[in-house]
Amino acid sequence: MVDELLRTAHDRYEGHDEGAVADYIPALARANPEWFGLSLVGVTGTVHEVGDAEVAFTIQSISKAFVFALACAAVGHERVHERVGVNNTGLAFNSVVAVELNGGSPMNPMVNAGAIATTALLPGADAAERWAHLQDGLSRFAGRSLEIDDEVYLSESETNHRNRAIAQLLQSYNRLDGDPAETVDVYTRQCSLSVTAHDLAVMGATLADGGVNPLTGEQVVSAEVCRDTLSVLASCGLYERSGEWLFEIGLPAKSGVSGGMVAISPGKGAVGAFSPLLDGAGNSVRAQRACAYLSRALGLNLFASARWSASQNGAA
Ligand code: DON
């Protein structure tokens, strides 16, 4: 049944060609707008896939979710809350104004300012150690060694002036320890990690499974860290469209400008989706539609309400 639903979602949306491929990072413009892959991984380790589920793309902003989990595990709930914040800014992912409007607080760990502040919280004596911790942690979520796409990394490094400005601004408000340029470099590396829709589904299923990777059996983070991460994804995962997403789909999710998306059903599993055509907020059009379809078809909306007596076999 799940294979059939994935196939239906793929058939239904593969012809949808609204949106545009991201090109503000020049190397991302090489993406084929036709690519469309879906993967669903259950907490029991079941895997279902259709389309381009094994095509590699850079994880981009989806890394923010998993780096947030690593930071919560390393420095704890309170420190992340106080230093970064856990609220939606209601503004674009690369907004500088959001930092100014909030007195220097990044507020939202799922936009660039908050993600850069989160990356700076990772343990390590220097940037190289923080990067090693990050790459190792995200690889454990995926259950395989994740590597950088060098072309995207170099392209973003040459053009990420805005992120460097954001990091300097955070430093001026004492929200960033360490060297801002080095932190932006670690952040740019994390965004350049190469993944597939399958990897995203495994990573999401690990968050759904109390922090245990359902394919490797490894405890990557604690169940408490998963809870903290999923709550932030629910309120902030789709940038300024997060409220609409939760209203329509009812699942914590995260998207990235390469066209990837992960939607998580706590205790059940996760969908990884990939298609490069993006809407105005930077979210993949086909991935959102496919996740919405699957959430409805599989009854995954977290806010679905049902009358108690209706589930008691007719007992009043
Ligand atoms: O910092 C950036 O702009 C990119 N590395 C990531 C942005 C991103 O994925 C936003 N997504 N919709």
Do 53 and 202 lie in one domain? The reply is yes
Do 53 and 103 lie in one domain? The reply is no
Do 68 and 169 lie in one domain? The reply is yes
Do 127 and 211 lie in one domain? The reply is no
Do 88 and 180 lie in one domain? The reply is yes
Assigned domain for 306 exists: no
- Rounded CA-CA distance 267/231 in Å is 14
Least confident of 50-54, 148-152, 164-168, 239-243: 239-243
Assigned domain for 303 exists: no
% the chain with pLDDT above 70 = 98
DSSP string, 204-265: HHHHHTTTB-TTT--B-S-HHHHHHHHHHHHHHTTGGGHHHHHHHT-S-EEE-TTSEEEEEE
* Region 3-13 average pLDDT: 98
% the chain with pLDDT above 90 = 90
* Per-residue pLDDT at 316: 47
User: Which amino acids are annotated catalytic?
Assistant: 61, 64, 187, 239, 257
Do 92 and 240 lie in one domain? The reply is no
Do 39 and 107 lie in one domain? The reply is no
Q: Domain of 41?
A: 2-60+194-298
| Residue that finishes a domain, picked among 134, 158, 191 | 191
Q: Cα of 161 to ligand 1 centre, how many Å?
A: 13
Do 13 and 66 lie in one domain? The reply is no
- Give the model confidence (pLDDT) of 176-207 as tens digits: 989 999 999 999 999 999 999 999 999 999 99
Assigned domain for 287 exists: yes
Please say if the pLDDT value at position 122 is more than 90.
Answer: yes
- Global confidence as pTM: 0.96
Instruction: Report the nearest atom of ligand 1 relative to the CA of 93.
Output: 10
| Residue that finishes a domain, picked among 158, 191, 224 | 191
| Residue that finishes a domain, picked among 137, 172, 191 | 191
Question: What residues line ligand 1, using a CB cutoff of 6 Å?
Answer: 60-61, 93-94, 112, 156, 163, 191, 255-257, 282
Q: What residue's CA is closest to ligand 1, atom 1? A: 112
Do 183 and 228 lie in one domain? The reply is no
- Domain CATH for 282: 3.40.710.10
Q: Cα of 133 to ligand 1 centre, how many Å?
A: 21
Distances in Å between the alpha carbon of 285 and those of 17, 25, 26, 54, 270? 8, 19, 20, 19, 18
* Average pLDDT over the chain, rounded to an integer: 95
- Give the model confidence (pLDDT) of 233-254 as tens digits: 999 999 888 999 999 999 999 9
Do 19 and 85 lie in one domain? The reply is no
